[in-house]
Chains A and B, each alone.
Chain A
Amino acid sequence: DVKVTQSSRYLVKRTGEKVFLECVQDMDHENMFWYRQDPGLGLRLIYFSYDVKMKEKGDIPEGYSVSREKKERFSLILESASTNQTSMYLCASSLAAVETQYFGPGTRLLVL
């Protein structure tokens, strides 16, 4: 059974803070993804990675960066958190682009 975990379920940060969201998968998946989910806007792709040390920008990368030092771990970094980054953040992994994506439980981030 695929397991995707995220470091926090809820997070409260101050404007300007550096924020790290971590995602770990245990199925040796090549592909990992970070989305943000906002009401009415669906799942918007922030960054994705198809291999260790590799990263690609998604649809809304501004204000975010990522790190993938190990195959199982994909981190999302908010360099300087802003209130408009208050959202639900979902991580996902998959074996290939045309295979099932497995999602983590999500991190609800509030930036004050």
Chain B
Amino acid sequence: GENVEQHPSTLSVQEGDSAVIKCTYSDSASNYFPWYKQELGKRPQLIIDIRSNVGEKKDQRIAVTLNKTAKHFSLHITETQPEDSAVYFCAAVHSGNTPLVFGKGTRLSVIA
């Protein structure tokens, strides 16, 4: 089955700097890659996703890139702000009856 590895487990950046979180997956059939953000005490919420037919997707300060050959995808946050501090989860799945497989999460701290 699918296995998703996420790095780093913790990340501290200065406000205004960029943050990058990387994930690798094992199942070459996976075709949907969402990213979830979980603020302290809150539920995980989708912030961006990418499907296997595109290599990059942007939404304001966040972007996700996908390299299908290498089987890895990354989340990029530019101009980080204190409200970006949270735990971020990547996930992968292919269509069918298999559920999303999540990475173990990255705790991002943005230092003002």
Q: B residues bordering A, Cβ < 8 Å?
A: 6, 9, 31-32, 34, 36, 42-46, 49, 51, 89, 93-100, 102-105
CB distance from A26 to the nearest CB of B (A): 15
Q: Name the A residues within 8 Å of B103 (CB-CB).
A: 42
Q: Name the B residues within 8 Å of A11 (CB-CB).
A: none
Partner of A45, one of B32, B96, B99: B99
Q: Name the B residues within 8 Å of A103 (CB-CB).
A: 43-45
Complex CA–CA separation, A43 to B6 (angstroms)? 13
Q: A43-B44, A103-B44, A103-B45 are in contact. Are A97 and B105 (CB under 8 A)?
A: no
Interface of B is mostly: loop
A-B contact pairs, 24 of them (CB 8 A): A33-B99, A40-B104, A41-B104, A42-B102, A42-B103, A42-B105, A48-B99, A56-B97, A90-B43, A97-B32, A97-B94, A97-B95, A97-B96, A97-B98, A97-B100, A98-B31, A98-B32, A98-B51, A98-B93, A100-B49, A101-B34, A101-B46, A103-B44, A105-B43
Partner of B89, one of A40, A43, A56, A58: A43
Partner of B95, one of A42, A48, A98: A98
